[in-house]
Each structure stands twice: as structure tokens, then as C-alpha cells.
Amino acid sequence: MRRKKNARPTRLPRWQEYAVYVSLGALTLTGLVWLGLDWGVRVESEFGPERHPAEHWAMIAHGIAAYAFLVVGGAMIPVHIKLGWSLDRNKVSGLWLGVGSVIAVITALGLYYLGGEGARSTASLAHWLVGLVLIPALIIHAVRGRRGR
């Protein structure tokens, strides 16, 4: 692969950078669609008002995006994060982004496996609140990284 003379080792290859934007963008979008439908939309059925069927499809798309993001995010560990860390560059926002992603993953596991309505709804609230912070954290991280070039 041809590299520019001033290329930094911490700089992500273009495809990897876009893979982060696309997978996290899809996660946020599908999460927001679910939230919008769950809060604001009910459909009439013979058993009374019910959730819109698109909520289910939004969660299927969210699950697919989550698998993709886990691969893409995991691929950051061996080079991007290790190098950035050892060169002492962009560490604070990188750490926020990394820790936020881990919390989103742990709370997502809570959504799957926690029994009891109370625990599940706490996991749900924590999950989407942290989830919504990830895109702003990513923007800050990428912009600060660019400034440091």
C-alpha cells in the first residue's frame, strides 16, 4: 500500500475509518428508530394498542450493526489503540470512546440476560443513554486526532 511521506502510524486506513462511522452510525440510527417508535407509536389490534411491528425490525438491524461494530471496534485494539496509547496521542477522548463502547456492550448483555422488569429497564436506560454519547465522543475523538496531526 502506498503511504504518504507524512503518514502517521496511528492514522486509520480509510476503509477502517469508514467502517467505524458506518457501523456506529447504523447502531445509533436503528437505536433512535426503536426509541421513537417505542415512545411515540402504537398500532390498534384486536387486543388493544400494541407496539409497531417495525420495532422488531429495527432491533434486528441493530443486532446486525452491533456484530459489525464489535468486529470493527475489536480490530482497533492491536494497532490503533496500542500505538496511540504508547505515543501518548488522543488518549483521553479515545478512552472515553473505548470505555463507552464497553459499557454499551455490557448493558446490551444485560438486556439479553437480566431477569426481572426493574433490572432490565435499568439496563435499557443505561444502554441507550451511553449509546447516544458514542457518536459525539467519536466526533470529538476524530477531530482532536486530526488537530494533532
Integer-rounded Cα radius of gyration of the chain: 18
Is position 122 an interface residue for ligand HEM (rule: CB under 6 A)? no
Placement of cell 440476560 in the chain:
113
Q: In angstroms, what is the minimal distance from the CB of 71 to ligand HEM? A: 11
Q: Which is nearer to ligand HEM, 43 or 60 (CB)?
A: 60
Cα–Cα distance measured from residue 36 to residue 42, given in angstroms and rounded to the nearest whole number: 11
Q: What is the dihedral of CA 134, 137, 139, 141, to 10 degrees?
A: -130
Look at the block and give the residue holding cell 426509541: 35
Contacts with ligand HEM by CB under 6 A lie at 8, 10-12, 17, 20, 27-28, 31-32, 34-35, 59, 62-63, 66, 69, 73, 76, 80-81, 84-85, 89-91, 94-95, 97-98, 101, 104-105, 108, 111, 124, 127-128, 131-132, 134, 141-142, 145-146, 149
